[in-house]
Amino acid sequence: MLPKQQSFLLSPYTELYDVLIPKDHMLRRMDELVDFSFVYEELHDNYCHDNGRTAVDPVRMFKYLLLKSIFDLSDIDLVERSKTDLSFKFFLHMAPEEAVIDPSLLTKFRKLRLKGMKLLDLLIGKTVEIAIEKGVIHSKSIIVDATHTQARYTQKTPQAVLRERSKRLRKAIYTLDESMKSKFPAKPATDVLEDEIQYSQQLVAVIEQDGRFTGLPKVTEPLNLLKETVTDDVEHLQTSADPDAKMGHKSVDFSFFGYKTHIAMSEERIITAATITTGEKHDGKQLQTLIEKSKAVGMKVETVIGDAAYSEKDNLAYSAQENIQLVAKLHPLITQGNRKKEDEFEFNKDAGMYVCKAGHLATRRARQGKKGRGENQTDTYYFDVETCKRCLLREGCYKDGAKSKTYSVSIKSDEHLAQAVFQESEVFKTKAKERYKIEAKNSELKHRHGYDVASSSGLIGMEMQGAMAIFAVNLKRILKLMS
């Protein structure tokens, strides 16, 4: 049954909050900034209103998840810290002596109450609404980029994951007491899953029986992670447990298995839109969605800043249609072709033909491809083969025995020609300098809010994690801009 709206419990100890939590504390300011009553409205239909035991306040449960994202804590560590951290209890509107929830309720809240909600768009829209209301967004530009997140269940075997997590736990113990090496069980000599599970259980048992380390945060985090893996996750650690995750590539040499979060951000570093896809999706295909989402939450978009991935032909045409400046460089293959500089021929504008390095002029030209087929046409220039056979510079240019010698040049579309001119302008170069801001935002999401690895499997779980992480970084940014 849905409880009444959240308020502080009457307690003789609530005055402690005024004494111990400063007025400028981040959580106090965040609680004053956001009206969390929207949570009741959004979750109204996900609760029974006339049957069953009264549920834990949904705003409190939502705030637990927000704290989890802000401080990058596991469910168990989050609840454990909530017992003793008065700033947490203040933010959760709890009396100082009030008991905390069981960690398992957070899993149920995520799976049962938040299921089916468009949480990502809702929370981003809420923060942008607050930012506009507080007057901290002034720009009419958005910066776009994509950041990758590794899947929680990687392509490692369950045995490898257990070995990695037990090793991390042992290392934490050794930094405190190296003599524990003699007390730990012998490592399994086989690659059998059952042996690895048994070893992990024995390792946990030895540490808990010793009792000296279980209260230390340095040890409890890897200890809880190993215990959860053994009891709940072992059968799901294969790649098949996360059918939504896909292999993506950040470069020729670097690939990842997981998801991409495509982000649009104002120049004030407030995220205005996001979409989450599987890892193999192309960045540029998400641009139009990001622009439309940013407009929907109240942003005026006159300029979009991104890298070369966003300068594909469809995006250039869309930007021109919407009167938006697209500050994204064309791919070098379009502006320069894929030839080395020393292999390029010169164009003779008087003859209308290309001239090779030896000074021989092409004899004729033919156009390849058709207009409106989605690919650029090419002009192919033909050279006299008999001349090429006798040429002193034929090595590396003419292949012996070839029946023809050609030189092809791609014909740029009108959109590409216009963008090539624009990217040489001072306006383009000045705006392009703002792109570094979104790289810093991606780094903040990953290194401060645990966004480098998915906290659960599946695209739905990834969207929920993204929603809470972006909500957290946006609120922190708004507070900083206001101060």
User: Which stretches of the chain drop beneath a pLDDT of 50?
Assistant: 235-241, 252
Q: Residue 238: its pLDDT value, please?
A: 41
Q: Residue 239: its pLDDT value, please?
A: 37
Q: Which amino acid is at 363?
A: T
Token digits of residue 373: 């087929």
Contact between residue 356 and residue 383 where contact means Cβ atoms under 8 Å apart: yes
The angle, 0 to 180 degrees and rounded to 10, between the axes of the packed helices 459-482 and 58-71 is: 80
Distance between CA 308 and CA 287 in Å, rounded? 12
State residue 157 phi and psi, 5-degree precision.
-75, 160
Q: Residue 115: its pLDDT value, please?
A: 79
pTM above 0.75, yes or no: no
Distance between CA 399 and CA 347 in Å, rounded? 22
Distance between CA 22 and CA 20 in Å, rounded? 6
| 341, β-bridge pairs | none
Q: Are strands 364-368 and 353-355 parallel, antiparallel or unpaired?
A: unpaired
3-state secondary structure the chain: CCCCCCCCCCCCCCHHHHHHCCCCCHHHHHHHHCCCCHHHHHHHHHCCCCCCCCCCCHHHHHHHHHHHHHHCCCHHHHHHHHHHCHHHHHHCCCCCCCCCCCCHHHHHHHHHHCCCCCHHHHHHHHHHHHHHHCCCCCCCEEEEEEEEEECCCCCCCHHHHHHHHHHHHHHHHHCCCHHHHHCCCCCCCCCCHHHHHHHHHHHHHHHHHHCCCCCCHHHHHHHHHHHHHHHHHHHHCCHHHCCCCEEEECCCCCEEEEEEEEEEEECCCCEEEEEEEECCCCHHHHHHHHHHHHHHCCCCCCEEECCHHHCCHHHHHHHHHCCCEEECCCCHHHHCCCCCHHHCCEEECCCCEEECCCCCECCEEEEECCCCCCCCCEEEEEECHHHHHHCCCCCCCCCCCCCCEEEEEECCCHHHHHHHHHCCCHHHHHHHHHHHHHHHHHHHHHHHHCCCECCCCCHHHHHHHHHHHHHHHHHHHHHHHHC
Q: Residue 273: its pLDDT value, please?
A: 97
Q: Residue 90: its pLDDT value, please?
A: 95
CA 184 to chain centre: 39
Q: Which of 208, 238, 240 is nearest to 226 (CA)?
A: 208
State residue 383 phi and psi, 5-degree precision.
-110, 155
Neighbours of 415 (CB within 10 A): 20
Contact between residue 293 and residue 397 where contact means Cβ atoms under 8 Å apart: no
- Residue for token digits 């490898």? 160
Q: Residue 251: its pLDDT value, please?
A: 57
Distance between CA 105 and CA 102 in Å, rounded? 6
- Output b/e per residue, 303-320; b: 16+ Cβ within 10 A: bbbbbbbbbbbebbebbe
Distance between CA 199 and CA 279 in Å, rounded? 34
Q: Are strands 325-327 and 303-305 parallel, antiparallel or unpaired?
A: parallel
